[in-house]
Chain A
């Protein structure tokens, strides 16, 4: 009985993984297609990779995506961390109110946040383009950073900073040498969320951009009608980079522990 149930579970699990990975595998496979078709493979070729690097519009969008994601991540991680530290020491009313506003981009449908920011930039008369995209990304990334840093601060001893300052640390030192090291895991996961949110964002970027500034998502959207396998090529490269990073993250501790074991053995 128990075993039977396990088989059922394994089957469902495998089906789910096939479902999730099938499109990704197709993207990678068809990026090497000899023809333009998205349904039939006609030989192996690297032509789409070659075209990708020659396609200036495509390369521009890669550049925009990375640039926006890096700036948004750095700014929102620093600003979000400082804001979270500040809010944790603020009066309760202020904190609750700000956290409520902070929840807007998380709770609201993305399209509402997007048109809100669009109307905001239009009303102010700011010309939409790269700058508005970066500002919008910072705006929706900070809330996620605060959300992941805040619980770490809550679990901190509230007297920690005071103790450091009593012992002669300046507030700046108390912040950077005492508080920040304690909440680093929260800051890092906040930064990771911010980066992936920004890197993959479509809806908000689509509404706040202008003057032909496009990120990868917008490129993919505008290509929905005419088939363009270069999008497969760039996606495959991204899949490759992500896989590589994951392998490294999982392999490095494994190898270093192996080396340590060996050292211990030789020492013994």
Chain B
């Protein structure tokens, strides 16, 4: 018994060094001003003040949140019907379809996003298609629309799979019970299926919203150099500018906003399920 618990010791040490310490360092850098050696640091909240007093940075933050929310809404609206269809298929079909949805995610995200450059650029498939509808010379690539499309493309599979799982694991006898009690299809869906699939939607939201806020290669590839999101700002601070302290502060701000939004979503969900229980 004791012998087996000792197996965890190396990992406890490793996880403190490789997982906990880096996060401590990010927070540490965010609150310090250092020269080149860390021994000369001084504590400061200068970086946070700088971020919140610069309208440019606030605009980027607002833009990142906006596009992440748009992506999440689009993924719920598009993903739910697809997941519903998959969940209501026969076992064989369902396995095939789940595999078909999972498969693209195994291919490098960057490569798949890169492919959209060709599809969206002038003379590509999409502008040609739009040309047939009389919409010539519509610029798609390097616009917000292209970034939104890229995000939905990359994150939609996670939403579909999460909703599908929660639809498949729900108690199907409840549907029969609702029908026996005289509920029609729409009512059964609204009162039984939808509330029971909500946990899947919630975990889907966290799998879409969080990476969408912090994403930086999708805006870079499909938004051109002009469309900056918070992830791009962090990347710039670390890779180009070299202001690690400021970059760390932005990361801390971003992580805080994400934690808070996830807390909010969970809170709303908990209240909703509480209400549902009260009603019944």
Binding site for B on A (CB under 8 A): 8-10, 12-13, 16-17, 19-24, 26-27, 30, 38-40, 79-80, 82-83, 85-91, 94-95, 98, 101-102, 104-105, 108-113, 115-120, 122-123, 135, 138-139, 142-143, 161-162, 171, 175, 196, 199-200, 202-203, 207, 216-217, 220-221, 223-224, 231-232, 235, 238-239, 242, 246
B6 and A39 contacting across the interface, CB-CB below 8 Å: no
Task: State the majority secondary structure of interface residues on B.
Answer: helix
User: Total number of A-B contacts with CB less than 8 angstroms?
Assistant: 224
A220 and B110 contacting across the interface, CB-CB below 8 Å: yes
A87 and B124 contacting across the interface, CB-CB below 8 Å: no
A13 and B19 contacting across the interface, CB-CB below 8 Å: no
B1 at the interface (CB under 8 A from A): yes
B20 at the interface (CB under 8 A from A): yes
Q: Which residues of A contact B103 (CB under 8 A)?
A: 242, 246
Task: State the majority secondary structure of interface residues on A.
Answer: helix
Q: Which residues of B contact A202 (CB under 8 A)?
A: 108-110, 217
Q: Which residues of B contact A13 (CB under 8 A)?
A: 82, 85-86, 97
Distance in angstroms between the alpha carbons of A246 and B104 in the assembled complex: 13
B244 and A119 contacting across the interface, CB-CB below 8 Å: yes
Query: Size range of the interface on B?
Result: 35 or more
B47 at the interface (CB under 8 A from A): no
Q: Which residue of B lies closest to A16 (CB)?
A: B82
A235 and B121 contacting across the interface, CB-CB below 8 Å: no
Nearest Cβ in chain A — how far from B209, in angstroms?
Answer: 10
Selected interface stretch from B54-62, B132-140, B190-198, B248-256: B248-256
Q: Given A85-B7, A217-B110, 20 more contacts at CB 8 Å?
A: A9-B88, A23-B113, A27-B111, A39-B125, A86-B11, A87-B8, A98-B12, A104-B23, A112-B26, A115-B244, A122-B244, A139-B18, A200-B109, A202-B217, A207-B238, A220-B108, A220-B114, A221-B220, A224-B221, A246-B99
